[in-house]
């Protein structure tokens, strides 16, 4: 009787942990997606160009990407429970600051930086919690459930964001992460106290890398050359530092693995390009077709984001049956062809963009599946943890950079001219040329990955 009761209690605790992890996963993704559709409204509210307004998302992605690497390295030293609770509190703290001070742009950006610091704990630690607290025979189901919840958050984010921004106000979107506070008492009760593991944390490496990235992102906003020079100097100092550090923030040995680095860099280019495109869609739909924020969120973005669930499943099946490079080619074709069709028919019905976005998100889903597969296959067993952590960090960072770079290009006249033999009105040339540029980046990245991995297969 006691043994049976004990087993039921343990199973009940495991299920409770999983429920609250799903809540955290859902709202962490939602926090990333909901404000994207409101970027034009935020730009109009503050009277800022896209290069500045896009920092509402770029600031979040900056600390979010760096944070995922930091939390992963600190999890053994400080314990999952403390870090997870710290992340929740910081995320909610940033939300309240952002909502209270949303009328002041510097406060809004500061709040998004704080939100990113907090939200980074969720993807970095949730999977580790599953590995430690969920029984081995149930982990597959747990990972699958969390993956589905994340996909659902990505799907409904634009619809929720568009509805609230249009019918209430975009500032209320900042309060959504505060819902995660309901998980705190349960996680305190359910997660065990862990023993600390002694170790060093490379603070100098983190600071050098973060400062270099910030300067580069600021360069993409203002195009002031001195910021680019500072960025390059800081990143060179970072590379020099990690070669000498006892426990470096990034393992320099990974840089010697050519296949791994090509996969990470080219994958980052594709992810950043798609993130930049998605951030451009609301501006494009408002400028070219004069759609409302609600219509953009629910009618244009929602079908594409929700299709990720289906394409993710199909992509996994195709990788197993046809191979990674086959699926990568399909994903790259979806992306590049979709961008080119949008570039040529941008002034056609806005609902064409709905269909295009379904294939863009499908191509992104295929590409993410493949990049993870081929990058992991290029790593030795002892490099797997550090390598996959670097891939996740690079992917999140590339998305933030993509949003910043696209915002900068939308704010200058570099591409605002007729380049294609098609007659458009007004600012349509700018968006059309950007779409052609996106297609070129995807095709170039695909060709490089294809060449490198075919060569490595022959040599292997």
My answer on whether 154 and 226 are in the same domain is: no
Look up residue 70 and give its two tokens. Answer: 């930091």
Alpha carbons 18 and 159: distance in angstroms, whole number: 26
My answer on whether 256 and 213 are in the same domain is: no
- Taking alpha carbons only, the member of 254, 281, 232, 300 closest to residue 402 is 281
Q: Band of the pLDDT at 193, cuts 50, 70, 90? A: low
My answer on whether 413 and 272 are in the same domain is: yes
Domain boundary among 166, 196, 226: 196
Domain boundary among 228, 246, 264: 246
* CATH classification of the domain holding 183: 1.20.1250.20
Alpha carbons 395 and 61: distance in angstroms, whole number: 10
Number of independent structural domains in the chain: 3
Q: Band of the pLDDT at 198, cuts 50, 70, 90? A: low
My answer on whether 218 and 294 are in the same domain is: no
Greater pLDDT, 381 or 298: 298
Q: Band of the pLDDT at 194, cuts 50, 70, 90? A: low
Greater pLDDT, 41 or 314: 41
Look up residue 125 and give its two tokens. Answer: 């630690």
pLDDT of 82 above 80: yes
Greater pLDDT, 326 or 456: 326
My answer on whether 32 and 168 are in the same domain is: yes
My answer on whether 79 and 218 are in the same domain is: no
My answer on whether 165 and 231 are in the same domain is: no
Residue 139: per-residue pLDDT: 66
My answer on whether 437 and 407 are in the same domain is: yes
pLDDT of 69 above 90: no
My answer on whether 84 and 172 are in the same domain is: yes
My answer on whether 261 and 186 are in the same domain is: no
My answer on whether 290 and 414 are in the same domain is: yes
Whole domain around residue 109: which residue ranges?
1-196
Alpha carbons 460 and 448: distance in angstroms, whole number: 18
My answer on whether 174 and 304 are in the same domain is: no
Say if residues 40 and 293 touch (Cβ distance below 8 Å): yes
Greater pLDDT, 441 or 78: 441
């Amino acid at each position: 009787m006691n043994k049976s009761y004990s087993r039921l209690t343990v199973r009940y605790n495991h299920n409770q942990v999983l429920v609250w992890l799903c809540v955290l996963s859902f709202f962490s993704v939602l926090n990333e997606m909901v404000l994207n559709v409101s970027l034009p409204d935020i730009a109009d509210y503050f009277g800022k160009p896209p290069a500045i307004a896009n920092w509402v998302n770029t600031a979040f992605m900056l600390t979010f990407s760096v944070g995922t690497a930091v939390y992963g390295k600190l999890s053994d030293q400080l314990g999952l429970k403390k870090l997870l609770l710290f992340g929740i509190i910081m995320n909610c703290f940033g939300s309240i600051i952002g909502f209270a001070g949303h009328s002041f742009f510097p406060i809004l950006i500061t709040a998004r930086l704080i939100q990113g610091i907090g939200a980074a704990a969720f993807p970095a630690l949730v999977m580790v919690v599953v590995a430690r607290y969920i029984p081995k025979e149930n982990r597959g189901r747990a990972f699958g459930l969390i993956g589905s919840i994340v996909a659902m958050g990505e799907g409904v984010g634009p619809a929720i964001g568009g509805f609230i921004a249009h019918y209430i106000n975009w500032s209320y979107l900042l309060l959504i992460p505060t819902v995660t506070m309901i998980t705190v008492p349960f996680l305190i009760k359910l997660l065990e106290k862990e023993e600390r593991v002694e170790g060093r944390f490379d603070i100098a490496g983190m600071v050098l890398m973060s400062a270099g990235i910030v300067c580069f992102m600021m360069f993409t906003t203002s195009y002031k050359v001195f910021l680019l020079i500072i960025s390059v100097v800081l990143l060179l100092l970072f590379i020099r530092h990690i070669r000498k550090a006892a426990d470096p923030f990034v393992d320099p040995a990974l840089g010697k693995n050519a296949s791994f680095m090509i996969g990470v860099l080219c994958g980052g280019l594709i992810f950043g390009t798609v993130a930049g495109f998605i951030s451009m869609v609301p501006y494009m739909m408002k400028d070219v077709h004069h759609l409302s924020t609600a219509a953009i969120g629910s009618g244009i973005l929602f079908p594409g984001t929700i299709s990720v669930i289906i394409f993710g499943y199909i992509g996994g099946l195709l990788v197993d049956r046809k191979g990674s490079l086959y699926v990568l080619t399909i994903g790259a074709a979806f992306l590049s062809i979709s961008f080119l069709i949008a570039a040529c028919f941008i002034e056609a019905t806005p609902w064409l963009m709905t269909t295009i976005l379904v294939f863009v998100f499908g191509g992104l889903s295929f590409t993410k599946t493949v990049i993870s597969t081929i990058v992991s296959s290029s790593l030795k067993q002892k490099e797997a943890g550090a390598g996959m952590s670097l891939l996740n960090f690079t992917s999140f960072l590339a998305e933030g950079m993509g949003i910043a770079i696209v915002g900068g290009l939308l704010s200058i006249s570099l591409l605002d001219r007729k380049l294609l033999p098609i007659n458009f009105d007004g600012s349509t040339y700018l968006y059309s040329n950007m779409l052609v540029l996106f297609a070129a980046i995807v095709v170039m990245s695909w060709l490089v990955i294809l060449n490198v991995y075919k060569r490595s297969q022959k040599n292997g």
